[in-house]
Amino acid sequence: MSLNCLRFVVSHSLKKSPHFHLSYLPSSSSSAVSVTMSYSKELAAAKKAASLAARLCQKVQKVLLQSDVQSKNDKSPVTVADYGSQALVSFALQQEFPTDFSLVAEEDSKDLRKDGAQEIVDRITKLVNDSLTSDGSYNVTLSTEDVLKAIDSGRSEGGSQGRHWVLDPIDGTKGFVRGDQYAIALALLDGGKVVLGVLACPNLPLTSISAAGQHSTSNEVGCLFFAEVGGGTYMQPLDGSSAVKVQVTAVENPEDASFFESYEAAHSMHDLSSLIAQKLGVKAPPVRIDSQAKYGALSRGDGAIYLRFPHKGYREKIWDHAAGCIVVTEAGGVVTDAAGKLLDFSMGKYLDLDTGIIVTNQKLMPLLHNAVRESLKEKAASL
């Protein structure tokens, strides 16, 4: 087929389906024209759903009582906000994409269907309906069964075929319960690759947290980070005002770099990151904050490095990294495991990782890899 002929075919099909971008490849390429998907409709829906869920979470965090915390088998606290957020995001996305809907999400309704859970289910249902009413764009009232079904439609296993939404309705539950950082993390996989991501971080200051830590001097909080493959990363205030493009830091000298890690020592080995930081020559103390807000903060250059080394036996889930990963990579950063391999989101719910996750800019990554390798060797030798 000639180029002119191809051009006609693509422009003709563009009229029917507006969600394609045309791009011309360099002449060395075997194909003259490539067609890349645009996910603008999906991104708009994801931003709307995550913002809606963020408002629900903010409301609950304000009135959080000890009785909101249930115990799950793995002892992690789950609140009405986790379930409410998942129900809302699932419902909102299904309204936009009613056919062929697949969602891989953290929570399910098992505990909510047990005897004695009716009161909590009623509270979640009221919360979800209040959020839908105050948003104004959905003219519906959900029953408790609708809410449980919406939560349970997050049971997909993901994988390398087709499209799957990936959701952590509240990432950083410990931070949420403490009144600190948390995020609503939503991403879309297409053919096993993350093609868009949205991170709503209701407690993250709008200005840099690099110097002052999570309690920045700015009292304006609430950030929405979003990224689409090939389109860069943007941040806007959660209240909806305009978005700005963000970039990871250009710092090249580790002495000028600062690093993020989990607030919870149970989630990441603080002793190992301090060894890595010391080997690299990082001078600043760690900035410890909860959730994928770390990826968001890194994407706008608040810090240069994120180190995550869970304790032995912990398996990382895709919803804990999918949105954060694209937010950082589209801002110019790199996310790999400790062996330098890019994260593979195509294998179902879990990530198959070597030891840990490290994130930084392109310039610092080789140095960081060396420091990680040496530190792991040293740690293994000392055991």
Ligand X SMILES: Nc1ncnc2c1ncn2[C@@H]1O[C@H](COP(=O)(O)O)[C@@H](O)[C@H]1OP(=O)(O)O
Q: Which of 320, 325, 333, 335 binds ligand X (CB under 6 A)?
A: 320
d(CA 86, CA 94): 12
Cite the annotated binding site by residue number: 106, 168, 170-171, 320
Which residues have a Cβ under 8 Å from the Cβ of 194 and sit 6 or more positions away? Answer: 166, 187, 188, 229, 322, 323, 325, 326, 345
3-state DSSP assignment of residue 327: helix
Q: Which residue has the tokens 């205030």?
A: 237
Minimum CB separation from ligand X for residue 145, in Å? Answer: 25
Neighbours of 256 (CB within 10 A): 13
By CB under 5 A, is residue 168 in contact with Mg ion?
Answer: yes
- Following DSSP, what letter does each residue of 187-210 receive, concatenated? EEEETTEEEEEEEEEEEEESS--T
Q: Which of 68, 180, 228, 290 binds ligand X (CB under 6 A)?
A: 290
Cite the annotated binding site for Mg(2+) by residue number: 106, 168, 170-171, 320
Q: Which of 320, 330, 334, 336 binds Mg ion (CB under 5 A)?
A: 320
The pair of three-digit structure tokens given for residue 141, joined into one six-digit string: 């009232």
Residue (of 107, 102, 237, 218) closest to 162 by Cα position:
102
User: In the range 58-97, which residues lie near ligand X by CB under 6 A?
Assistant: 76
By CB under 5 A, is residue 330 in contact with Mg ion?
Answer: no
By CB under 6 A, is residue 288 in contact with ligand X?
Answer: no
Minimum CB separation from ligand X for residue 306, in Å? Answer: 9
Q: Which of 84, 154, 172, 222 binds ligand X (CB under 6 A)?
A: 172
Burial 296-333 (b: 16+ CB within 10 A, else e): bbbbbbbbbbbbbbbeeeeebbbbbbbbbbbbbbbbbb
By CB under 6 A, is residue 211 in contact with ligand X?
Answer: no
By CB under 6 A, is residue 236 in contact with ligand X?
Answer: no
The interface partner of residue 310, options being ligand X, Mg ion, none and the CB cut-off 5 to 8 Å by kind, is: ligand X
Q: How far is CA 341 from CA 299, 305, 337, 344, 352, in A?
A: 20, 17, 5, 9, 10
Residue placing its CB nearer to Mg ion in the complex, 292 or 336: 292
Minimum CB separation from ligand X for residue 184, in Å? Answer: 10
Minimum CB separation from ligand X for residue 74, in Å? Answer: 7
The interface partner of residue 107, options being Mg ion, ligand X, none and the CB cut-off 5 to 8 Å by kind, is: none
Residue 22 · residue 10 · CB < 8 Å: yes
By CB under 6 A, is residue 264 in contact with ligand X?
Answer: yes
* 355 part of the active site: no
The interface partner of residue 262, options being ligand X, Mg ion, none and the CB cut-off 5 to 8 Å by kind, is: ligand X
Minimum CB separation from ligand X for residue 357, in Å? Answer: 10
The C-alpha torsion from 260 through 266 and 271 to 274, rounded to 10°, is 0
* 336 part of the active site: no
User: In the range 58-87, which residues lie near Mg ion by CB under 5 A?
Assistant: 76
Minimum CB separation from ligand X for residue 266, in Å? Answer: 5
3-state DSSP assignment of residue 142: coil
Q: Which residue has the tokens 């093609």?
A: 195
3-state DSSP assignment of residue 85: helix
**Strand partners of residue 166:** 104, 187
Q: Which of 109, 153, 173, 214 binds ligand X (CB under 6 A)?
A: 173
DSSP state of 350: B
User: In the range 89-128, which residues lie near Mg ion by CB under 5 A?
Assistant: 106
* Residues of the shown chain interacting with Mg ion in the complex, contacts defined by CB under 5 A: 76, 106, 168, 170-171, 173, 320
* Residues of the shown chain interacting with ligand X in the complex, contacts defined by CB under 6 A: 76, 106, 168, 171-173, 262-264, 266-267, 290-291, 310, 314, 320
Query: Which residues does the annotation mark as catalytic?
Result: 82, 173
